[in-house]
Each structure stands twice: as C-alpha cells, then as structure tokens.
Chains A and B, each alone.
Chain A
C-alpha cells in the first residue's frame, strides 16, 4: 500500500529565505507526483505536476524535483514571501489515476 510522508510537518521562516519541503513515498510505481497548496478553510490549488519520466518542474519561484527510484520529491521555494504561508501537500498518482496524499507541511513566512 502506497504511503506518502512529508517532512517537516510545520516550518516557520523569515521572509526572503529559500526553503525546501520534503516528500517521500513507499511505492515507486507512480504515474506522476503533484504538489498542491491549501490556504486555511479553502480548497486545494495545483502548483506543479511532475510526470514519472521527468526529473523536475519549475513555475516562477517554485521548483519541484522527483527521484522516483529513491521515492523522494522536494519542493523548493525561492525568496519566500508572507503570501506563501499555507499548507503544502504532496500527492502521488497511481496507475488507476488515484491521488494518495501526504499529511502536508504547514508553512509560515514571517514578515
């Protein structure tokens, strides 16, 4: 059974710092990996999707990497801003297109 783990569970950084969020999964037979952002009381917003054949994806200040063989992904946020404060969720898609989620990393960027 696929299990997704995110470390750390919570993170507080001063504005301007570069930071890395970690995600690991137990079964490397994934279709893709997706990173989402969730603001308090809101739904999930898709940030980046990495296909299983890809190594990384970039969108603005965000860069996500994937090492399928070791079951790991990282989300790198450059020059963090208070507006980046949210919960970041990692999810892997299996061959039946189901997403299995980690428990998330709660990020606080202090002004």
Chain B
C-alpha cells in the first residue's frame, strides 16, 4: 500500500481564494482524520470520519472550512474564502480504529 496520499504538497494562494486539499486514505481503514499543524498551536484535530460519515467537526475553526468524504477512498478539506491565518500544514491520517494512525506527508498551505 502506498500509504496515505495527500495533494498538493504545497499550495500558495491569495487571500479570498478557495483552497481544496485532497486525501486518499489507506484501503480498509475505516477512520479518516484531518489535522492542522502550526508553530503556535501544534497539531489540532479539525474533523474526523468513520465509514465516510463525519463524526466530530468541533475542531473546524469557522464556517469557511468544510470537509467531505464522498467514498471510502477520497476526502477533501475546503477553505473558502482563505485568509492568511489559515497558513499551516494540513495533515490527513487514517486508521483501522483502535490502532496506529498512518499520516500523509501533509499539505503546506500559504495564504498571502
């Protein structure tokens, strides 16, 4: 298995633009998680899915953020409109449940 695949690796966008981050989890993993990492706040859980259903989105900072998982092999995290304070590394991770997480390589987002 190629692991958790995220795209793009880097994204630079202007304030106000829409940004879409993508994630392909490991096949067979029922859980998918979106995290954000910044120097100030460390790793924060934004939202997670179980069997494609959003379970807890309490970490999503604002209505500008939305996430979907249309099928077991694909998830998106969208920011619309983007702001400079959204600049961070966004990680996707998947797990079979009560087991080790596998993280993707992350998307480094810069909003100018």
Contact = CB atoms under 8 A, between A and B. Distances in A.
Interface in A51-103: 89, 91, 93, 96-103
Interface string A25-69: 000000110101000011111100100000000000000000000
Interface of A: 31-32, 34, 36, 41-46, 49, 89, 91, 93, 96-104
Contact of A98 (B48, B103, B105): B48
A97 B95 contact: yes
A41 B9 CA distance: 11
A97 B100 contact: no
Contacts, number: 47
Given A44-B91, A99-B33, A101-B43, A49 B99 contact: yes
14 contacts: A32-B98, A34-B100, A36-B103, A42-B105, A43-B103, A43-B105, A44-B103, A96-B55, A96-B56, A98-B33, A98-B48, A99-B33, A99-B93, A101-B42
